[in-house]
A and B are shown apart, each in its own frame.
Chain A
Amino acid sequence: MRRATAYLIALLALAGLIAGLAWFARIASQPPAAPSFSLTDRAGHPHRLADYHGDILIMNFWAPWCAPCRREMPMLNRFARRHAAHGVRVLGIAVETTPNDVARALADAPVDYPIIARGGAALQPRYAATERASRVVPLTVIVGRSGRIQSQLIGELTERRLRRALAPISGDSGAE
């Protein structure tokens, strides 16, 4: 009887822990919802998170003084053009800079996708998964079709890296 009670205790404790773990795992495996934003790009067009619902949004945090950022932008530009029909959209967000420096950088190497030159600095820490990621560029955050953050890529992108990050959510109609 006492032995049976002891086993029961162990069993209950284990069951409780496993249930807790399962619960945590389920919550943890669900990607977090992207924080909402409302910003105006250089052309004066408003951009809100809600506008991108149903699309895959690639948010690229960059700065004019950052060489790796500048190197990846032409690739992003090509990628955005090629996959626009699949609902893949790119939004460039300049941080730690001035609108003038952004204008100069884009005059040297223009891109077609919209660029936010003001007010984006506050957005990066909200989108970065860690404190450190919030302080480096380039940081690329991928928001899935249902408005959840699917992945974050720190450092210079290659097309292969980007495509691999998009693979789990792009499905048949996505990239490639």
Chain B
Amino acid sequence: MNNALARSCLYLAVLLVCLSAAITATAADTSTLLPVDKAFAPKVSRDGPHTLSVSWQIADGYYLYRHAFAFALQDAGDARLGPPTIPEGNRHTDEYFGPVETYRHTVHIRIPVQGDLPSTARLAVSYQGCADAGLCYPPQEKTRPIPDDVSATATANAGPPENARDITQTARTAARLASRAGGETTTTQPSNADTTTTLAERLANAPHVATLGLFLLLGLGLAFTPCILPMIPIVAGLIGSRDVSRARAFALALAYVIAMAVAYAVFGVVAGYFGANIQAALQRPLVLLPFAGLFLLLAGASFGWFDFQMPGALRARLSGPETTNSRSLAGAAGLGFAAALIAGPCVAPPLAGALLYISTSGNILLGGLALFCLGLGMGLPLIALAVFGASVLPRTGAWMAEIRVFFGVLLLATGFYLGLRLAPAAVALAAWGGLALVYGAYLSTRPVSRTSLLVSRRVAVALLGGYVALAMAGLAIGNGRPTAPLAGLASTSDPTGAAASKSPFERVTTQAGLKRALARARETNRAAMVDVYADWCVECVRMKHTVFARPAVRTALTDIVAIEFDITDYTADQRQALRAMSIFGPPTLVFYRADGDTNPDARVTGTIDAETLLGRLGGLDNTARTP
């Protein structure tokens, strides 16, 4: 039996290897094309007190044009650049451009500086180049700090905005810092602010095996989220891996996990291919409420109020007449498929990342496989439990009962998290406070054997009690939210509270309205930002109360045309608008330059923090350059 199983695993492994090889082969076309920063990246150095030098290492088969070189000092006070000394390049006559000079392999340019350079000075370098393969990169402009004073430049102006006068200055600094971070070969991502975009970018750039590995890890990480972890013991019981041999348990778990992974792949690919808004679909009340109910039910099972089993008739049908004493593989697989759908709302962000990639690149195979790996990763703990766990997983014992209760509370919390976003803030606050109160009270009455446990229990009870107190206070004051029970206190004592009620956003709900607002921005030659928003999108609401409520952000937003595209109703018209803009769903920010163009970098899918947003907003007028 074990031999046969091992052999079947081997088959699977071989198939998967062949599959990934096949994928890698299909992607050979563009992998030979270097990203522009690999083809030619400028390096700025200082040759002396009054000489700067800029050099490029140019990849084989790529070249730069002399006529596209341009240099400018920024924040340099009175210092000025003299005429640069550019070495002679390869001259030839282009049939369209006339005589041109090009550089290969390396080029080194010296620029004299008149006057004294302050430590904050930076050099903006413009250049443009092409590849022998017959293609060109757009004109580049990179702003680099001038070395010797690197550390001083990086730490200057890093303090948070304290008063309104500093705000625009800080916004500009943030923009510069952001553009510099982008300039420096883009290996570091600007924090986890826009996770889905980053994920999609990584998918687009990483070698494919690494991509699949990444998703496997991601899945493994997701397995430890409150929505999935507490379900593992329940699932282990459900598929019956406790009462059978180890090999059988492994087979059952494997069937469950593969079915779950296939469900993710199928679900994701279908959604991605048709451009459906997966996050929105998973966040409609009709979907959320049954899910919330399901989690409450699962919590009940975890508390031991009732035993979770498939209905007898269904089980008999699934397992067939002869295997009444052992659970069937098909049953396990069916459960796995269903479980994938149940956990859907929890995995929406990584799912959206994979889907974004599928829809923008059209590489459905890789996207589907990535989701398959995500599902596999999520199932790994279950498989481990099945293989090693029959003995590891105790059925009795006081601490196991506590774990079950804890998991039950986690499941309840997940149900609350899903269901209460539709409820008024006060109701949600009361519910969370009630949960904390009940669990705290429960914990404080439990007997504890060891002193170390006693201490940690006291801490937990104190924390829960603290939250209960805050929630009660928040309910009394009013205006509280589960994440900020005392928010009402701040808003009444804040003198700017009156101003805060006037949003810098122009709210539109239709495609036509959005187009009109953007057209007005274009006519008045102003940059614009569209915030795709919905009431049912937790992150959108959170950003509205935090990021967009910051005075610095509000000021920056009044300088441009800020449009809130409210898709709460999620009408056909709104869905069509999202499709047209290839947007997956809220929260998404799309930035438009003053000439009405948007570029691929100019959007943030997922959440963003205030500093990054200010950087993006400050960069809008910079990008409105004309090459």
* Chain A positions near chain B (C-beta within 8 angstroms): 2-3, 5-10, 12-14, 16-17, 20-21, 23-25, 27-28, 31-32, 35-36, 63, 65-71, 95-98, 105, 108-109, 118-119, 121-122, 125-126, 129-139, 149, 154-156
Contacts and interface: CB of A to CB of B under 8 A. Distances in A.
Nearest to A35: B582
Contact of B12 (A13, A96, A98): A13
Contact of B29 (A71, A98, A154): A154
A96 B362 contact: no
Contacts of A12: 255, 329
Given A7-B4, A9-B4, 8 more contacts: A6-B4, A24-B269, A24-B369, A65-B139, A70-B96, A122-B599, A125-B600, A131-B204
Interface string B1-23: 10111011001100100010000
A155 B627 contact: no
Given A5-B1, A24-B269, A27-B273, A136 B33 contact: yes
Contacts of A130: 30, 204, 361
Contacts of B597: 118-119, 121-122
Nearest to A10: B8
B152 interface: no
Contacts of A137: 135-136, 138
Given A17-B12, A63-B136, A65-B627, A135 B36 contact: yes
A10 B22 CA distance: 23
Nearest to A139: B135
Contacts of A154: 29-30, 33, 133, 135
Contact of A10 (B7, B134, B136, B247): B7
A96 B139 contact: yes
A3 B8 CA distance: 12
B148 interface: no
A97 B595 CA distance: 11
Interface in B352-381: 360-365, 368-369, 372
26 contacts: A9-B4, A10-B4, A10-B8, A13-B8, A14-B8, A27-B269, A27-B365, A27-B368, A31-B362, A32-B273, A63-B136, A65-B627, A66-B136, A67-B96, A98-B626, A118-B595, A121-B597, A129-B362, A129-B363, A130-B30, A135-B137, A135-B600, A138-B136, A139-B135, A154-B33, A156-B133
A161 to B, nearest CB: 10
Contact of A13 (B96, B247, B258, B273): B258
A45 B246 CA distance: 71
B204 A27 contact: no
- What band does the interface of chain B fall in when counting residues whose beta carbon is under 8 Å from A? 35 or more
B362 A136 contact: no
B30 A132 contact: yes
B262 A136 contact: no
Interface of B: 1, 3-5, 7-8, 11-12, 15, 19, 29-30, 33, 35-36, 68, 94-97, 128, 130-131, 133-139, 201, 204-205, 247, 251, 254-255, 258-259, 262, 265-266, 269, 273, 329, 333, 360-365, 368-369, 372, 580, 582, 595-600, 626-627
Contacts of A66: 130, 135-136
A95 B597 CA distance: 10
Contacts of B362: 31-32, 129, 149
Given A67-B97, A125-B600, A24 B365 contact: yes
A96 B133 contact: no
3 closest Cβ contacts across the A-B interface? A156-B134, A10-B8, A6-B4
B540 to A, nearest CB: 23
A155 B134 contact: yes
B138 A63 contact: yes
A48 B595 CA distance: 21
Contact of B95 (A14, A32, A71, A134): A71
B136 A65 contact: yes
Nearest to A31: B362
A49 to B, nearest CB: 11
A125 B11 CA distance: 39
A2 to B, nearest CB: 5
A69 B205 CA distance: 25
A71 B97 CA distance: 11
A14 B29 CA distance: 31
A135 B186 CA distance: 15
A14 B11 contact: yes
Nearest to A134: B600
Given A63-B136, A149-B362, A133 B30 contact: yes
